[in-house]
Structure 1
C-alpha cells in the first residue's frame, strides 16, 4: 500500500490543528483572526497556551510547504520582482495616513494628498491590496483601511520599522552579492551591501552618524521593548547572587544591569557604552539604584579599565566579524583576574536537526542580514569555543545554555592564568 501523499498529510495537519485553534478561541470568547479593520493585531493566543502556540506554528509551516509543493519547483524559481514596490511607495507618499482609519477615501483624494497622479495612485494601491492586504476596495474606487494599514496609520513604531526594513535593509540585501564580488571574504564593516547601496566608503554606523535623520529612524527601530520573558532570561538563568561586580559592555541604557541590581542586592553594576546612550541611561536611572548602578563612557575597541567578576555582552558580537570580536575580547585581557567570567548573551544558529523550525528561519535570516549590513554574523554553537581560543588561549570555554523558550543562549568563558593549567 502506498504511503499517504505529502500534500494530503499537510492538508490533514492544517485542518486538525486549525480546528483545535478555532475551538480554543471560541471556548474563551476570543475573536477569530481576520483582516477587517477591527481585527486583533495578532491571533491573541497567550504564551502559556503551549499546545495551541505549537499548533499555530505547525499550521503556518505546513501552509507554506503545501503552497510551495502545489506551486511547483519551476514556478517557485520565478522572482516576484515587483513584490514590495507598492509598499515602499505607499509609505514614502504617506498614502496610509491620507485619511482617517474609520473613514473611506477615493483614488482622486489620495492623489490630491500625495501629489501623485490618480492613475499612479490607483495602480500602486491595487498592487498593495492584492499582494499585501494593504487597504480594501469593496466598492469600485472606494478605499478603506485594512487591519494592516490601520496599524501603520496609528502606530508610529510599526510604521518606522517597515520604513527602515524597506529603505535600509532591503537595498543592502539587493547589493550583497555585488559586495561579495568586489571584496571577497571581507571582514570589514565598510565593504558590504549597505556600503554599495549607499555609494559610501563608510560603515553603516559611521554613515548614519553623518545622516542623523536616517540614523534616528534606525535607532528607533531597535528601541522597541522586548517581551518580559526575553528580558528575564539572563536574570533567571545565571547565578548572579555569587557575583559582586559586573560590567555590562555595550549595555545601552542599562536595562539588564538595572534588572540585576533590583533582584540581587549585593552586586555592583557598571554600564558601558558610547557617550550618547550613557547620558540617556544616567538620566533614566531610578534614584534608589544610583549607589549600585553606574554608567561609563567606553569604547570596547579600547582596553577595558574596570576589574570585575563578570563582563556581560548582550547582542554585541553578532554586530561584528570575527576579527573584531577577537579584538573586543583581547581588550579585556590586561584587566582580567583569574576566575573572571565572560558572558555572551546571543542567538545561536541552529544545527541541522532544527533547521525546519520557525526560530531557525529567523536566526538564519538574521545571519544573512548581518552580513549584508556589516559583514557580521550569527554563530553556530561550535564556533564560540574557537572564537575564545583565537582571542587568547587563557580564555577557557565553560559552555552554553539555552533556557527553555528563550531567544538567546547564555555562552560563558572563564579567564585562567597560564599557571593554572586546564584545557579549553
Structure 2
C-alpha cells in the first residue's frame, strides 16, 4: 500500500516547536536582517519582484545563500516569495529601502551593529552587577565610545534622525503648541523635531541645543524656516539656553539614571521662568505590567547605558524633585508620549 501524499495545506501547517525556539533564533534573524540591509536588497526590489539569482547578479552575492536568507526573512513578513521563486517586498519590507520617506534602514544598521551585539552578550553579567554590558565590552561608556569613533557616531546620529521620522509629525500634531514664542529643544540632536514644530507653527522661533558636533550637522536649513532659529552647542548637565517660552527634552531622560536626570532637569529648570512649560517626550511604561513595546527599548538601555524607560509615576517623581509639576500625559500615536510639566 502506498503512502498518501500530504496535501499542500498540511505541508504548510507547521508551527514553531516552541516560543522558546523563536527567542533562541533571534540573533540569527538579526544577523540576516543586517546582511540584507547592508547589501541594500530592498532597494533592488523597489521596482518589482526579482529572483535570488537576478539579485545576486547585480550585487555580487551568492545566489543560493541569498535565496535562503531571503526565505528566512519572508517568515518574518519582510518579503513574499511568489510561485516563480521571485521575492516581493511587503509593506514592512519597504522600510528597509534607503530611498523612501520614513526609511528605517539607518535604525536597523545601528541596532544590529556590533556595538549592540557585544553589549547584548554582556546581559548575563549585567544581571550580576547591574552595569551595562557595553562598558564591559568596550572599557568605556557608550557615549564616550561614540565620541572617539566618528564612524559609529555618524551611524548613531543618522539612526536617531531616521527613527524620529513620522514620530516628530505625531508629536507636533499631538500637542497644542503656542502661536508665538521661542521653543528650546534641549538635547535635540540634529533638530528633526524642532524643524517639524517650526514648519507647522510659523509664528514660533526655535533654539536647537546639543553637543557642538551634533548641532553642526543640523537639519534646520530651508527657506521656510529662514531667520527663525539658531543653534547653540553645550552640555545640558551644566547649562541650557535662557529665555525660552517652551522647552523640549525628547528621548533624553531615558538615556540616564535618576541622579543624572535630576541634574539635567535642574539645569533646565534654572534656565526657565516660573510657569514656563516643559515637554518630556519619552516612552511611558504602564504601571500595571501591561505589555508595552518600550519594554524592549528598556533592555537596550540596560545593556548599553545606565538609563531606563519609566512609568508616569516615576517621571512625576523626577519632575517634582527638580522644580516641576506634571500637568498631563498625552499619547502621540507613536511609542513615545508627551509629558507636559510646569516650572514651579
Partner of 2:324: 396
Partner of 1:175: 122
Match of residue 195, structure 1, among 132, 135, 139: 135
Name the count of aligned residue pairs: 319
Larger Rg: 1
- The structure-2 alpha-carbon separation of the partners of 1:249 and 1:415, relative to structure 1 and needing over 3 Å to count, comes to same
Superposition map of 1:8-407 within 5 A: 75-78=18-21, 80-81=24-25, 83-84=28-29, 87=32, 90-91=35-36, 94=39, 96=41, 103-104=50-51, 106=53, 113-114=60-61, 122=64, 125-126=67-68, 128-130=70-72, 132-133=74-75, 136=81, 144-147=86-89, 151=94, 155=98, 157-167=103-113, 168-181=115-128, 184-186=129-131, 192-196=132-136, 199-224=137-162, 226=164, 230-241=168-179, 244-262=181-199, 264=201, 267-281=204-218, 284-286=221-223, 289-290=226-227, 292-352=228-288, 355-356=290-291, 360=292, 362-390=293-321, 392=322, 395-403=323-331, 405-407=333-335
- The structure-2 alpha-carbon separation of the partners of 1:351 and 1:254, relative to structure 1 and needing over 3 Å to count, comes to same
1:277-303 Cα deviation digits (max 9, x unpaired): 32333761436541x322211221122
Shift of 1:374: 1.4
Q: TM-score, normalised by structure 2?
A: 0.73
- Where structure 1 has 5 or more consecutive residues not aligned to the other structure, the ranges are 1-66, 187-191, 417-424
Shift of 1:344: 0.9
- Where structure 2 has 5 or more consecutive residues not aligned to the other structure, the ranges are 1-12
- The structure-2 alpha-carbon separation of the partners of 1:239 and 1:288, relative to structure 1 and needing over 3 Å to count, comes to closer
Q: TM-score, normalised by structure 1?
A: 0.61
Q: Distance in 1 between matches of 2:268 and 2:93?
A: 49
Choose between structure 1 and 2: higher strand proportion.
2
Shift of 1:98: 12
Does the CA contact (< 8 Å) of 1:261 and 1:289 recur in 2? no
- The structure-2 alpha-carbon separation of the partners of 1:180 and 1:124, relative to structure 1 and needing over 3 Å to count, comes to farther
Alignment RMSD (CA, Å):
4.1
Partner of 2:6: none
